[in-house]
Structure 1
């Protein structure tokens, strides 16, 4: 991609998200989402491959449908209440339609059908953008209307997302698809508590983003796209392998790693609001996600020295990639060991 085009696309993605997060008017938020969507389409389709073209088309159609539904919902609310203010979504039908539109934009179940395919057809760097940065704007809008959301709706969507995320990633061998279902499961944890305690929901999604970012970047430096090629990382990057294992266990929510903190806070919040049955179901469904995290961790550990790997090495690390990995390791360690500060 030419430098000027890359600069324009980057500015569009950043400005689109900032416009949404600072908006008070529904039309301004819609404009920011459209700018964000148009800017990321060239990034998804830049590979000049049928898979990336298909991914860009699916992303465009889904996001355009969600934007139209969002515009219809805000217009209906303005017609009924006379207000375009984001925090004044008082019409119940408008609120339900807006939740569906935002769920579609984020990729939460049952409107998750586009996310695994789009992430599989994109590069690892683009996958990182879709799994983290592209969720900031919809999550912000959901946070702003959380006072008007019916808790039953978000609880159902959240539990369904945890189930779909765990069950869908169960038999995946592609890292990008596995992380797509992981993203759906973490969105489920966020949605279950967004209408009860929005601050904890925001904490959960932020922690997921700061954990998944170094994971994606480290996988990018090793050029690993499947679990088979991921098993050969120990031969050339043993430190990276250890950090990847810790990041996977942190995303799984195992104590004493950072990923355990938001899950504990969410379960505690649900129990305080007398939703113990929902908290129990969520804890049991999270075992599905734990299975494929542990499977990936086992594949990494089963090939560590002195065991000889049986799979063919499909890549070699370059010198600048070694430097990048060395830069990422302190960031990843910080993300893993931030738990004591969060518990204070």
Structure 2
């Protein structure tokens, strides 16, 4: 893809997301979603092959269906309230349809089927955009309509997403599919808290984006797409293997790392709202995610591929890829736990 075209497409994606985030009018929000969706499809098909085309078609069909549902919900709401304003949702059917459309755009269960398939069919860079930037717009709309969302429906979807995200990733060897199931599980945690404390959802989304960006950048560094290719990494980038280990544990939500903050605060907030069983179930199901993250760390850092490099002469090509943003991203993805008291003031 030529640079001027790429710049125009990326600008359209960003503009679409910004329109959705900054609008309080349903028609503008819908237009922003459409701009974003149509501009992302060339990015998904950047490296053209039949698999990428299939993934882009699946993405387009799902997102178009979600947009249609959203517009239908907005129209029903317009008939009842006579207003296009996002803050006024007077009809429960309209609210349910809007929530369903936005969860379909996010890939929450039971509308999660497109996420692993689409992510697997595209390049690592496109996958990174799909699993980070593309979550911002639907989440911002959910944040704005959170007072009128059906809490029981969203909590059911959240529980199902955390379960599917953990269960689906267990037998995967493809890194993009593992990251897709990880995304489904994280979206479940965000959906669980959004009606009780929307600010905490923003915190969770920010940390999830930071951790996912760091992980994808480390995968792109070595062009790793399978767990087998990760086991070759110790011979080329010994430091990167330890970084992937720490990042995976952070994604799993282990205590000394940044990934523990949202899980800790969400469980605390849910228990404050007299809920014991749901956070307990979510914490237990998160162990499934932790299992496949640990499997990745085992493949990366604790196993050695049966070929050692004892020669004095370097046999690899010189490394040419730039990793400018990686150091700050890795630091923020792993070392933010001491800031938790400051973050808890945001509630």
TM over 0.5: yes
Match of 2:288 in 1: 288
Quickly say closer, same or farther: Cα 1:38–1:312, change in 2 above 3 A. farther
Q: Tell me the distance in 2 between the aligned counterparts of 1:106 and 1:318.
A: 39
- Structure 1 residue corresponding to 2:331, chosen from 314, 330, 333: 333
Tell me how far 1:112 sits from its aligned partner.
Answer: 0.6
Supply the distance in 2 between the matched residues of 1:251 and 1:46 (Cα, whole angstroms): 28
Change (3 A) 1:203 1:170: same
1:129 aligns with 2:125: no
Determine whether 1:25 maps to 2:25: yes
Deviates more, 1:281-290 or 1:135-144: 281-290
1:193-220 CA distance string (max 9 Å, x none): 1111111111111111011111101110
Deviations 1:284-341 (A, max 9, x none): 11111111011111112223xxxx413899x9664322x42x7513430232101101
Q: Distance in 1 between matches of 2:341 and 2:250?
A: 15
- CA offsets 1:137-180 (integer angstroms, 9 cap, x no match): 00000000000012111110100000000000010000000000
Gaps of 5+ in 2: 310-314, 343-347
Moved over 4 A (4+): 315-318
1:186 aligns with 2:190: no
Matched, 1:309 2:305: yes
Listed as ranges, the matches of 1:46-195 within 5 Å are 46-195=46-195
Deviates more, 1:333-342 or 1:31-40: 333-342
CA distance in 2, matches of 1:119, 1:75: 32
Supply the distance in 1 between the matched residues of 2:112 and 2:254 (Cα, whole angstroms): 26
The count of residues paired between Structure 1 and Structure 2 equals 337
Q: 1:199 to 1:109 in 2, by over 3 A?
A: same
Q: The residue matched to 1:142 in structure 2 has which SS?
A: helix
CA-based RMSD of the aligned residues comes to 1.6
1:276/1:237 Cα in 2 relative to 1: closer, same or farther (>3 Å)? same
Distance 2:198 2:90 in 1: 18
In 2, are the aligned partners of 1:124 and 1:220 still within 8 Å (CA)? yes
- TM (norm. structure 2) is 0.94
Distance in 1 of aligned mates of 2:325 and 2:15: 27
Alignment gaps of 5+ in structure 1: none
User: Measured at CA, do residues 311 and 158 of structure 1 come closer, stay the same or move farther in structure 2, by a change above 3 Å?
Assistant: farther
* CA 1:207–1:316: 2 relative to 1, 3 Å: farther
TM-score for the superposition, normalised by structure 1: 0.95
- Give the distance between the partners of 1:141 and 1:317, measured in 2 at CA: 47
Instruction: Identify the residue that residue 265 of structure 1 maps to in structure 2.
Output: 265
The separation in 2 between residues aligned to 1:27 and 1:271, in whole angstroms, is 38
Local SS of the residue matching 1:143: helix
Deviation string, structure 1 residues 252-311 (Cα, Å, up to 9, x no partner): 0001100001000000011000111111111111111111011111112223xxxx4138
Pick closer, same or farther for the CA change 1:311–1:343 going to 2, 3 Å: farther
Q: Quote how far apart the aligned CAs of 1:246 are.
A: 0.6
User: Within 2, Cα distance between the matches of 1:311 and 1:165?
Assistant: 35
Cα distance in 2 for residues equivalent to 1:147 and 1:215: 34
Q: Which residue in the other structure is 2:219 paired with?
A: 219
Alignment partner of 1:43 is 2:26: no
Match of 1:343? 341
Rounded to whole Å, the distance in 2 between the matches of 1:204 and 1:318 is: 38
